[in-house]
Amino acid sequence: MSLAVTKKIRGYLISSDAVTTIVPKSDIKVGWTRITDNFPCIVITQAGGTDQGYLGYKTSPAGSKIRVEESIFQIDIFSKNSRQETLEIADAVVKTLISGGCRKDSDIEMYDDDTKLYRKTQTYFYRKFHDD
């Protein structure tokens, strides 16, 4: 997943009033942090992805200059308050990201006894075409 895609996904979330009325922009983070003190929060991480050039990609003058970047990223929603809060945030995230061209692929919820946190984990697929 490229830096541009990561910025785009975070950009969708921090510009959504539906998301930021529940989770402050400063608590929507990219990548894992050692200690997160603020809850609720959203953490965006890479879960996979591919890049592929189209036929003749940059190998001949007649070849294509187009490649496709397919990204799989994970959204983790954490709350100390309640399962309901994670579900409300998740609903806002889904609406925001699918309107931005993402496809939700999975959705798991859990409770972590060690940290005493409610957690909702979603994975999304995003495709971007580049004309190199």
Task: Give the model confidence (pLDDT) of 73-109 as tens digits.
Answer: 999 999 999 999 999 999 999 999 999 999 999 999 9
Range of the domain at 69: 3-131
Asked whether the whole model's pTM tops 0.75, one would answer: yes
Total domains in the fold of the chain: 1
* Own/partner long-range contacts of 80-85 (Cβ < 8 Å, ≥24 apart): 80/39, 80/40, 80/116, 80/117, 80/118, 81/39, 81/40, 81/118, 82/118, 83/109, 83/111, 83/118, 85/22, 85/40, 85/118
Whether residue 131 has pLDDT greater than 90: no
pLDDT digits (tens, 9 = 90+) for 13-53: 999 999 999 999 999 999 876 666 789 999 999 999 988 88
Report, as an integer, the average pLDDT of 112-121: 93
pLDDT bracket for residue 132 (50, 70, 90): confident
Report pLDDT for 34. 66
**CATH code of the domain in which 85 resides:** 3.30.2000.10
In the prediction, which pLDDT does 17 show? Answer: 97
What is the predicted pLDDT for the residue at 36?
66
